[in-house]
Amino acid sequence: MHQLIVLWFSWVKSGGYVGIFFLMALESTIVPVPAELVLPPAAYWAAQGQLSLTGILTCGILGNVLGALLMYAFFYWTRERFLSPLLNRKIIAEKKLRSAESWVRDFGAPGVFFARLLPVFRQLVSIPAGMFQMRLRDFVLATLFGSGAYCALLIFWGKKILGRHPELLSSPQNMMNVVHKEMFGFILLIVSVAFLYAVAVWFRMRHKRYSCPGKFFSNETM
């Protein structure tokens, strides 16, 4: 993993805007490219006049949206071929898939928005959104605003932290650890807000009865 981190970091430095866009597109898929490795050093180099903050923010957001769309499209078009073997071989329980489908239906765009602000979840949220055919417009808008907020935060902290401690650029792993530590309070805030939103949705939905199963599970060919 250390070698990959060094490789991704070198791409940020040598690739400029194209490298940032490419790496942030990969970061929005299941490829292990941490955004904390891409945008903070780019923000530092922007502060030194080598790049522009607007440029790296734009490349970060557009890369994230592209990567998320690729994930969404893949699982949108392969959902039956992907899920049927998992169900038939009992690799995953149908109950869990129903829960994932309910999450997409109940939380929709706000759920995607909050997920895009949280590490790990931001990469995975495209899977259920595509698999259970969330409306594309809602998915794109939620991804756009969620990614925009997360990218802006990383740029802010990157400029602040590396401006005070440029020596961290010589140790990408330590740099990511410091960024994670500084962002902990923000992540905790997002988790708290997302929890409160989930509770509100639960109270709203508990009084509703669904007369039929979700789209995927109502398909008799499954």
Domain annotation covers residue 164: yes
Domain annotation covers residue 128: yes
Q: In the prediction, which pLDDT does 220 show?
A: 44
Band of the pLDDT at 215, cuts 50, 70, 90?
A: low
Other C-beta atoms lying within 10 Å of the C-beta of residue 20: 26
What is the total residue count of the chain? 222
Mean pLDDT of 147-163: 91
Which among 139, 157, 160, 159 has a CA at the least distance from the CA of 149? Answer: 157
Domain annotation covers residue 219: no
What's the structural domain count of the chain? 1
Read off the tokens for 96. 């869990």
Band of the pLDDT at 8, cuts 50, 70, 90?
A: confident
Domain annotation covers residue 214: no
pLDDT over 90 (residue 14)? no
Which among 193, 220, 20 has a CA at the least distance from the CA of 113? Answer: 193
Domain annotation covers residue 222: no
Which among 59, 63, 78 has a CA at the least distance from the CA of 31? Answer: 63
Domain annotation covers residue 217: no
How many degrees, rounded to 5, is the angle at CA 156 between CA 153 and CA 162?
125
Helix axes 2-27, 53-88, angle to 10 degrees: 90
Mean pLDDT of 80-105: 74
Domain annotation covers residue 148: yes
CA distance 108 to 128: 10
Read off the tokens for 123. 């990469």
Question: In terms of pLDDT, which residue wins out, 200 or 164?
Answer: 164
pLDDT over 60 (residue 94)? yes
- Which of 31-35, 82-86, 103-107, 117-121 shows the lowest mean pLDDT across its residues? 82-86
pLDDT over 50 (residue 222)? no
Q: Which residues of 28-65 are buried (b: 16+ CB within 10 A; e: fewer)?
A: bbeeebbbbbbbbbbbbbbbeeebeeeebbbbbbbbbb
pTM for this model (two decimals)? 0.83
Domain annotation covers residue 170: yes
**Residue 192 parent element (H or E):** helix 172-205
Q: Whole domain around residue 189: which residue ranges? A: 2-205
Question: In terms of pLDDT, which residue wins out, 222 or 159?
Answer: 159
